Chain A
Amino acid sequence: MNRSKRWWWQVIIVIGLLTVMGILINNLAVNLIRTGLGLSFDWLWRPAGFALSEHPLPYQSSDSTAWALLMGWLNSLRVIFAGIVLATLLGVSTGAARRSLNPLLRQIAALYVGFIRQIPLLLQLLFWYFVAFLGLPSEPFAPLGAVIHLSNQGISLLGVTLSVEFAAVLLGLSVFTGASIAEVVRGGLDSVPRGQWEAFRSLGMTEGLGLRRIVLPQALPAILPALSSQYLNLAKNSTLAIAVGYADLYAVSDTTITQTGRAIEGFLLLLLSFLLLNLLINGGMQLLNRAVLRSQHHH
């Protein structure tokens, strides 16, 4: 195909895409008029009229709906970022354990990954919440002295009190995503030539040191892209929190949508909030990716 023909094709595709988008937007507008809805965001500034069980900033039911939604968003952020940290720790150590010299460690890691990845996340969340945490006695008990106090009313870890809802979502998301991250890490480690392992072992380096200094840095470029999709998955999966009573963004939106009847606006805001959140995560991971690639070029 010659150059001018290729150019025409691009124009046609762009026009086609614009037409489809135009029709979809027109559909939305016409249907909104037909059902007498029309877009409006006034309700955001009216009093929310419902209480929240947890809120990182001061909140009461007479505050605006927008503020209630922000509390939900912060609750989501809290559990997502804590989840990312915990899932990464769990995933990296499990991934490394699967390539360990210790057969018991290898077996345990394989069992964890195999088992967790076969069960739907929602079921796991329900298990952690209704069976594991709500099954605790209602009077606090301290299995490890002052470090942790457990009860089905809340968990106190080194003086920080967490609700059982938060703990269940955090643990559920981390354990589930950790198993996938473990596979990503294992894949990354396998992409490093075997010679590198043999080399550090023959130099007398310990397994841990060799992994940290020699293998992992070389595996990172293979790990990072897949890792960021796991992080995005974790963020999106956090909306399942409503099943176990955690007041995340989705749960708060759900309440405001039924109280105001503004479903389309509510879902638009939800969409935008998650887009923003995921762009943040994605941006962070890209920076990291670039930094890693640059440092590799220096070597």
Chain B
Amino acid sequence: MKVRLLALPLVSFLFILNGCATLGEGGASRLDLIKRRTELRCGVSGKIPGFSFLQRDGSFAGLDVDICRAFAAAFTGSPDQVQYRSLTAPERFTALRTGEIDLLSRNTTFNLSRDAAGGNGVSFAPVVFHDGQGLLVKRSSGISNLNNLKGKTICVGSGTTTEQNLNDAFQAKGIDYKPIKYQDLNQVIAGYLQGRCSAMTSDRSQLAAARSGFNNPDQHVILPEVLSKEPLAPLAAGGDQRLADAMRWVIYALIAAEELGITQENIGNKLAEAQSRPQLTQLRRFLGVEADLGQKLGLNNDFIVKVIQAVGNYGEIYDRHLGPKSAVPIPRGLNNLYSNGGILTSPPFQ
């Protein structure tokens, strides 16, 4: 009797355990799952002002967050259907691989090892912010270039390409240095401000963001040397072409909208214009009035309208969080449209 009582839960437990190992149904895309649950699970950092930062009311805001919102608007129709997960740098790829999140929009550098199937094997969307690693020093230290840092201590955060870039740059110049590695940026900042290190290193955007929170930001300078190219891009797990395509064209839509002069404010007028004037074929295709570009991606044909209504074009997103009037002003530089001296451009929506 006792045996039989035990056997049922035991057997079912074994079945459940075994169920954890089924090979996923081939060809199914994460995109369908997102649409079915009408909610996007987006991995962000949550700790970088201007990119993803917790607001007073408990919500997240920043460029990375607006990218999540744009995806949600395109995939589910509403920019608010997002569940944010704040992840540390070492956690992010595991969270993606295990399926805990659908995609990452977390200032992640696009590089070969991460993209390749033999590396982290993820799929990157187009770059949303061209960054570069830099060094922040105290103005009073008199340090003005890399050579002045010979034998000095440098505070660096863990779990990023920053450690490797730092090493490559100093090794190439044959300069010795001592890295003090902390787990996250806040500790790096504390170590630097307390005087443990002569310099702290991180992406220049993060240095600018951190400096904006210091007591006297003008007492700290970012050295002119850029140690690396850091193209930051959203990404999804590899081997899922439908999701990767959809993400890619949402980002391009943000850039193309800026090229076409379509903004959050005038999107209604533009749509009305496209509907009433059949000769505007390019605009009509872009806004989904004719052709079926959205459908080809597995989205609604008006997905771009939803995206622009939700977050505006790329330039608007940038200005909102990193523009001259924002709390973390970073000159647009490379992140401007190609026509304005930057390197952003979108392939045609055809």
Contacts and interface: CB of A to CB of B under 8 A. Distances in A.
Interface string A263-278: 1000000000000000
Interface string B144-181: 00000000010100111101101110110000011111
Nearest to A240: B183
Interface of A: 16, 19-20, 23-24, 26-27, 30-31, 33-36, 49-53, 61, 130, 134-135, 138, 152-153, 164-165, 242-245, 247, 251, 254-255, 257-259, 261, 263
Contacts of B113: 261
B21 interface: yes
Contacts of B178: 51, 53
Most buried by A among B24, B181, B191: B181
Contacts of B195: 134, 138, 152
A167 B233 CA distance: 40
Interface of B: 10, 14, 17-18, 20-24, 89-90, 93-94, 97, 113-114, 117, 119-121, 153, 155, 158-161, 163-164, 166-168, 170-171, 177-183, 187, 190-191, 194-196, 238-239
A261 B119 contact: yes
A26 B22 CA distance: 10
Contact of B90 (A24, A34, A254): A254
12 contacts: A19-B14, A36-B238, A51-B170, A134-B191, A164-B196, A243-B182, A254-B183, A255-B158, A257-B90, A258-B90, A259-B161, A261-B120
A259 B181 CA distance: 14
Contacts of A16: 10
Main secondary structure on B side of the interface with A: mixed
B236 to A, nearest CB: 14
B194 A50 contact: no
Main secondary structure on A side of the interface with B: helix
Contacts of A258: 89-90, 158-160
Contacts of B164: 49-50, 259
Contact of B24 (A34, A153, A242, A259): A34
A53 B24 CA distance: 44
Nearest to A138: B195
Contacts of A263: 93-94
A53 B21 contact: no
Contacts of B119: 261
A247 B117 contact: no
A36 B239 contact: yes
Contacts of A244: 182, 187
A135 B194 contact: yes
A245 B182 contact: yes
Nearest to B179: A51
B189 to A, nearest CB: 11
Given A31-B20, A244-B182, A263-B94, 5 more contacts: A16-B10, A19-B14, A30-B21, A61-B171, A251-B158
